[in-house]
Amino acid sequence: MDYPDHLIPKPDYQIINDTTLIRAHCLQRSTKNTAILNPETGKIKAEYIAFQRDHLRDLSTNLIGVFKTEDRFWRMVGDRKARYTELWHEGEKVAPPTKEDWVYNEQFGAIYFPIDELLNMTVPYTRGNDQEQKTVQCKVLHTPVRSNFWHCSIRWFNENGDIIDQKGKWSKRMLSTARSMLVELGRLEPDFEEEVAELIYKTT
């Protein structure tokens, strides 16, 4: 078994800067196992959205299409893990990972988020006695890494920019909105699995 070639970025690929072009597609978020739903509500468990502190600010996902649902089982390990999970730069040629670089683990579950629904979600905030109002907006960024061209990040912005650079109460509100939105929109199956059109990610 070899590491799938369709995951490796190629020199003639380009970063998808306009993610509205892929709004019909879904993002996949891997989970530690398949016990994803809260039995009391039937909704996604909050801990399956982000299982480590601060993960929510920059949520790692995969763009479903060329990346197939079962591709989540490939995991980078070993001495070269850091290199293979670093961001890929346009034009860079990547040597395929060898057997020492990966494991295939079928225990992982997955949650899916339709990009269209994420991009459509805008949340204006009000506060009783305070006239200040801010709007939380979800953005999907294509952030390919050397072992996976289809890696994307879900990020959150308001009038002051990216939540990553913010602290304090507004940051907490954005985090809560992010978590609630992902619980609300998350599902167990992708709605759309067609391949991403080549003209979107190939330079020629």
Binding positions for other proteins, rule: CB under 8 A = 38, 40-43, 45-47, 50-56, 117, 120-129, 136, 169, 172-173, 175-177, 179-181, 183-185
In angstroms, give the least distance from the CB of 33 to other proteins. 15
Q: Using CB atoms within 10 A of its CB, is residue 17 exposed (0-12), middle (13-18) or buried (19+)? A: exposed
Is 13 or 113 the residue whose CB approaches other proteins more closely?
113
In angstroms, give the least distance from the CB of 159 to other proteins. 15
Which two three-digit tokens encode residue 124?
A: 């204006």
In angstroms, give the least distance from the CB of 1 to other proteins. 34
Is 45 or 155 the residue whose CB approaches other proteins more closely?
45
Q: Are 28 and 69 in contact (CB under 8 A)?
A: yes
Is 33 or 41 the residue whose CB approaches other proteins more closely?
41
The C-alpha atoms of residue 62 and residue 30 are separated, in whole angstroms, by 8
Is 51 or 104 the residue whose CB approaches other proteins more closely?
51
2 phi-psi bin (left φ>0, alpha ψ -120 to 50, beta other)? beta
In angstroms, give the least distance from the CB of 38 to other proteins. 5
